[in-house]
Chain A
């Protein structure tokens, strides 16, 4: 009975949200709220895991008499929902654990505490909903709760701007989803998912639904060019909420997309896969390039979320292309890669945001240019953050590599597809994916190298202290999951077989049957990867080397000032800065991607003014897409303003004309 557990978890979370208003002001109240959120998420997550593993009566369905009177609210738990509920509640449990420590530093707890459980409840409801009405209401509830959390620190001007942009983009996304469901419901008004699934659409409806789902779910997930709100809103929220938004809410958006496209809209055309794939590739590269240019640690992480969502959509697009051609095993492989990457990303992105939050409380800084040397003052945080960086850079033997490896294997299967458009698009997307992976490694060398290594660049960084035990526990658990999912991916892949079986009618080979815990994409002859053995090999050779060296070599060690080619300078500003580190990359890629320009003003010899290097970076998407739209809206609003100052006769005329126009439309329609 996993579904009742999950629904009662939702009820309890909503109750917590209500009681937070009463008790949230005190320290104990905060501990109660986060503590119970942790327990609830743990219970609901276990229920989802059991449902996914096929224990308990999995495919339960419940109709509650709330919502629209003649429909009610339908909830259903199938493999897909169960998987995403697992992601949501794993993220929720870890975040609540982290917040037990982090929440103490919150200045105005009443602006966070009531909305936090409500946000979790909203996401759970989206994943469990089984009719369009419940889905949309929960979706909007989730958006509004997260908006309130983004506005928690509303006194900062930039946070208010982030909140406004987020609100507009969220309403736009919900509008698109509303229209998509309207199209799927057809003229008969089928609200329930089961009825939608059974209905047969023509040619145009699935294409329109795809476009609307890309706009609606894509704007929530952060697909380029709809990502503009994401790097503003995610960093604006308190760090544990940032982790939840980046790690979990984007996955709910991915869930919405999969539910609509793979489940409800019927068999896709081959070109729809190509479109999703291409958008995913563009999102991945653009996201990570933007992340590289950032100096603000949390904004860097938010842009990296955009990249990872791009990778997930590459996998989804491949799965659609395979499915359209009836290659079930290929579709299963690509879909497994995408879902696994969604899971992995939720874990390591939460970890990285937790680390950023720990740094923020320890130093009060998010600017990489003012950090440095934290590995000595916060060793455990630094270690966990390093694991997260390694995982997100897709380096073996951690989990990020596994999911990208599976997606790459799916790309290698694609010459089987007959269409020429795909034959040209897929290799290009493969190159984009490879580029994105390389950039991600650079990005996180920068984040860790500048933030945690070197010498402190400010007084605040020098005073940093290790963070509290709850936060450390949450980070270390995340790091452990990253390692485990990297060395034992077979378990997760086998769990996902129920999802791929239901959605694309195929599955990857049973990984548990393969000796030595390897994973294989389609058949043992083709290729395989064994994270466990790679880890064991690395451990053995590293310890062999260390052992041999400590036996044979001299053990002498002397501390001395750095050598630095004979000219060491003790001033920390002589270190490489965050901007300086990526200067070569900015010069090579940034000129076309961001119209980056560098200007050096060098005073003549004898002049004591400092030389100044000014770097200019433009957000081309914002400037070319959004600014014209904003200008058009303000222009129209200006014009329409006059309507507020008419005489009563003119208002009556307007009403009359509107009535006539509507009647005309009605007459023409019939």
Chain B
């Protein structure tokens, strides 16, 4: 649990660095996100006059739900202690809870910007959540379990093979991950004054320690999705439950390598594409939903696909 918490800002810093290098800038140092968080924690909170208790509680709830979800995803070892307490469906729903409270927090102060952010966030969610569930269905139908460690263990075994439905699910999962993390082309994490922003508009009124919690949960979410993709579609090097202690450092290194590769690919993708108009997003995510549905249908129709 602590590992994901410590690694998350590093990953975000890494993505920012790679993006900067790709556009021939020097970019902030790798540890800048940690410094940002520390600085935010030291600052005072400026609370809007109309903010209610929900506005102050929401950052902690959002952070807790995201952290629990992130801790349930296998990082470098597959046998998590409490992996049976929540399966993939529950992880999806936990992220849904975080979004639910974030959208409410955006509406709490009663500003136009908060409303625009929440409104667009939930619109994106109506595509992203069903698409995610369809991906979960595909994986569960292949592995015979919705439990993440079970699915990951199955993906390591030789009986998986190459399947059309898995390929479709991978593409759909990447699209969902981009949308859920508010990356280009769906949303721009670096913008602050643009009418098309989504996530930043919702958290506009937050400051100080509250903002730090929200930023940290956004970083956790990015880590969660990259780990999820890594453990499902590149499960090599996961330490098995009973593995000896010597294997763990190696597994950790491999995991770091996967995160680095995922982050670099994300940065490459983001620099090579322009942001979409908001009403193009449904086309993008609708494609993810259709791919997910197609993958599930293939699984229902034929066992081999």
Contacts and interface: CB of A to CB of B under 8 A. Distances in A.
| A and B from one complex | yes
Interface of A: 372-373, 375-376, 379, 386, 390, 393-396, 401, 405, 408-409, 411-412, 414-415, 423-424, 426-428, 430-431, 434-435, 437-439, 441-442, 445-446, 448-450, 453-455, 516, 518, 525-530, 533-534, 537-539, 541-542, 545-546, 549, 552-554, 556-565, 568-569, 572, 574-576, 580-585, 587-589
B272 to A, nearest CB: 27
B61 interface: yes
A574 B112 contact: yes
A611 B108 CA distance: 27
Contacts of A390: 97, 100
Interface in B11-52: 41-50, 52
Interface in B138-197: 140-141, 144-147, 150, 193
B233 interface: no
| 9 residue pairs, one from A and one from B, having the closest CB atoms | A576-B115, A556-B44, A454-B110, A542-B64, A449-B107, A434-B130, A553-B41, A533-B85, A562-B48
Interface residues of B, number: 85
Given A395-B96, A527-B147, A538-B68, A438 B52 contact: no
B141 A415 contact: yes
Given A438-B125, A527-B150, A565 B108 contact: no
A546 B41 CA distance: 12
Nearest to A565: B113
A349 B2 CA distance: 39
B301 A438 contact: no
A552 B300 contact: no
Interface in B104-152: 104, 107-116, 118-120, 122-123, 125-127, 129-130, 133-134, 137, 140-141, 144-147, 150
Contact of A545 (B64, B109, B113, B204): B64
A372 B297 contact: no
B85 A530 contact: yes
A557 B90 CA distance: 35
Contact of B100 (A435, A445, A534, A572): A445
Pick the most buried of A401, A518, A538, A560: most chain B CB atoms within 10 A of its CB.
A538
Nearest to A444: B100
B48 A518 contact: no
B208 A441 contact: no
A91 B301 CA distance: 43
A373 B109 CA distance: 9
A393 B104 CA distance: 13
A408 B100 CA distance: 21
Nearest to B289: A431
Given A527-B146, A538-B65, A553-B41, 6 more contacts: A424-B297, A434-B133, A448-B104, A454-B108, A516-B85, A557-B45
Contact of B103 (A375, A445, A583): A445
A441 B296 contact: no
B279 interface: yes
Contacts of B54: 375, 386, 453
B89 interface: yes
8 contacts: A415-B300, A427-B300, A431-B133, A442-B126, A526-B146, A541-B1, A560-B48, A589-B126
B90 A396 contact: yes
Nearest to B60: A542
Given A541-B63, A554-B44, A576-B116, A450 B68 contact: no
A528 B84 contact: yes
Contacts of A559: 46-49
A158 B267 CA distance: 57
Contact of A541 (B43, B67, B112, B145): B67
B84 A585 contact: no
Interface of B: 1, 41-50, 52-54, 60-61, 63-65, 67-68, 71, 82, 84-87, 89-90, 93-94, 96-97, 99-100, 103-104, 107-116, 118-120, 122-123, 125-127, 129-130, 133-134, 137, 140-141, 144-147, 150, 193, 204-205, 208-209, 212-213, 278-279, 282, 289, 293, 296-297, 299-301, 303
Contacts of B71: 537
A563 B41 contact: no
A434 B104 CA distance: 21
B89 A408 contact: yes
A372 B108 CA distance: 9
A453 B205 CA distance: 14
Contacts of A581: 115, 118-119
A580 B119 contact: yes
Pick the most buried of B44, B68, B279, B301: most chain A CB atoms within 10 A of its CB.
B68
A637 B248 CA distance: 83
A529 B86 contact: yes
Given A445-B104, A553-B41, A563 B204 contact: yes
A426 B297 CA distance: 9
A527 B140 CA distance: 10
Contact of A534 (B90, B107, B123): B90
A148 B145 CA distance: 51
B41 A552 contact: yes
Nearest to B63: A545
A533 to B, nearest CB: 4
B50 A373 contact: yes
A437 B300 CA distance: 22
A364 B93 CA distance: 35
Pick the most buried of A386, A408, A439, A537: most chain B CB atoms within 10 A of its CB.
A537
A530 B96 contact: no
A574 to B, nearest CB: 5
A525 B63 CA distance: 30
A589 B47 CA distance: 37
Nearest to B295: A427
B63 A542 contact: yes
Contact of A546 (B60, B103, B204): B60
Contact of B111 (A441, A450, A575): A575
B47 A441 contact: no
Contact of B86 (A376, A428, A534): A534
A546 B43 CA distance: 16
Pick the most buried of A395, A424, A435, A453: most chain B CB atoms within 10 A of its CB.
A453
A395 B93 contact: yes
A541 B72 CA distance: 13
Contact of B68 (A528, A537, A589): A537
A549 B41 contact: yes
A587 B120 CA distance: 12
A585 B110 contact: no
Nearest to B42: A554
